Amino acid sequence: MLLGLKKCLKNPLYIFIGLNRRGFFKWMPDFLHLKINFKFSCGYSLNLKNPKTFNEKIQWLKLYGNLQKYTDLVDKYEVRKYIAERIGEEYLIPLIGVWDKFEDINFSKLPEQFVLKCNHDCGSVVICKDKNSFDIGAAKTKLNKCLKQNFYYQSRESQYKNIKPKIICEKYMVDESGIELKDYKFFCFNGEPKIIQVDFDRFTEHKRNIYDTKWNYIPVSVQYPTDPNMIIKVPVGFQNMLNLAEMLSKNIPHVRIDFYSIYDKIYFGELTFTHGAGYEIFQPEKFALEMGSWLELSFL
């Protein structure tokens, strides 16, 4: 505990994040909140008059990009309707149930394995691999806490502000590893996929590798370490993923579209319009400028 306190005192970012999560800064105007958070997180002052880096342009979008129009697309329950209409229900992970309250869940009717999560935030995932040993009390504590939080206030991403919180239950799925689902995150700019981020080893030592659309490894890192020695094969159906990403990102200045490849099938993950809330660290920094050049604010 003392080590944690010393860590916080040495880095004001931890103090800001801790107080922010507890709602101390709800009163703060978005502009000021973003300026402070950006400086702490990225290490340089936010330039909104002439944004250049990817992170700066994400902050600009949060203030001036009318992101509220994407509310249904970031709602993990409502977006299912959009995906079914645009590309087909076969790309959706099977839905088991949806509830407004944790107390409404009848666990006796759930399968032996499942995934619970909230529809309105990030990080509220609860995985059940064995119902006999599943800690319902811990799940209730976590999910009820998440249901009470308005995710908008964390980083002022207005697309999340008006989502009605729910709990959804989806089928538990893993890929060929047998232990996890690798995310294939397609960063799209005005309908064109530019790079793919692959997250792996999330439950041990989280890493990310970045690839171009020809599946060439790019020696850069975004927030988490990259591993050039980790050989990630081109996912099954990769060209179809690219085609689907183009369809879903058409006429949108920027959106990240996540897919999973499970044996010979592709599944949709989520749509994200403000990756990392615009606070993730890029190495080298010139890559942040290159990604920023792809996001044309003149479209807005």
All domains in the chain, ordered by first residue:
92-171 (no CATH), 176-299 (3.30.470)
Average pLDDT over residues 224-253: 94
Question: According to the model, what pLDDT value does residue 7 have?
Answer: 55
pLDDT digits (tens, 9 = 90+) for 55-75: 999 999 999 999 999 999 999
Q: Which amino acid is at 185?
A: K
Residue 148 has pLDDT above 90, yes or no: yes
Q: 174 vs 234, which has greater pLDDT?
A: 234
Using the 8-state DSSP alphabet, how is residue 102 labeled? G
Say how far apart CA 183 and CA 97 lie, in whole Å: 23
**Confidence class for position 175, pLDDT limits 50, 70, 90:** confident
Could you tell me which residues are beta bridge partners of residue 116?
126, 169
**Does 177 have pLDDT greater than 80?**
no
Checking if the pLDDT of 12 tops 60, the result is yes
State the pLDDT at residue 231. 87
Q: What is the rounded average pLDDT of the residues 180-187?
A: 88
Query: How many Å apart are CA 56 and CA 187, to the nearest integer?
Result: 16
Indicate if the pLDDT at residue 193 is higher than 90: yes
pLDDT at 265 over 80: yes
Q: Which of 157, 186, 294, 160 is nearest to 249 (CA)?
A: 186
Q: For residues 96-115, b (16+ Cβ closer than 10 Å) or e, as one string?
A: bebeeebeebeeeebeeebb
| Span 139-153, average pLDDT | 96
Residue 143's closest CA among 157, 123, 128?
Answer: 123
Mapped onto helix, strand or coil, the DSSP state of residue 166 is coil
What pLDDT, on the 0 to 100 scale, is given for residue 4? Answer: 54
**Per-residue pLDDT for 6 more than 80?**
no
**Cα–Cα distances in Å, from 243 out to 195, 234, 240, 275?**
14, 15, 5, 21
Strands 114-118 and 255-262: unpaired
What distance in Å separates the CA atoms of residue 143 and residue 158, rounded to the nearest whole number?
A: 22
For the chain, give the mean pLDDT. 92
The residues pairing with 261 across neighbouring beta strands, listed in sequence order, are: 266
Residue 178: the pLDDT is 66
Nearest residue to 257 via CA among 152, 268, 211: 268
Task: Give strand pairing partners of 117.
Answer: 168
Can you read off the two tokens belonging to residue 8? 């916080």
pLDDT of amino acid 22: 73
Q: If residue 259 lies in a helix (H) or strand (E), which one and from where to where?
A: strand 255-262
Reply yes or no on whether the pLDDT at 44 is more than 70: yes
pLDDT per position as a tens digit, 93-129: 999 999 999 999 999 999 999 999 999 999 899 999 9
- What's the confidence (pLDDT) of residue 9? 55
233: tokens are 């094969």
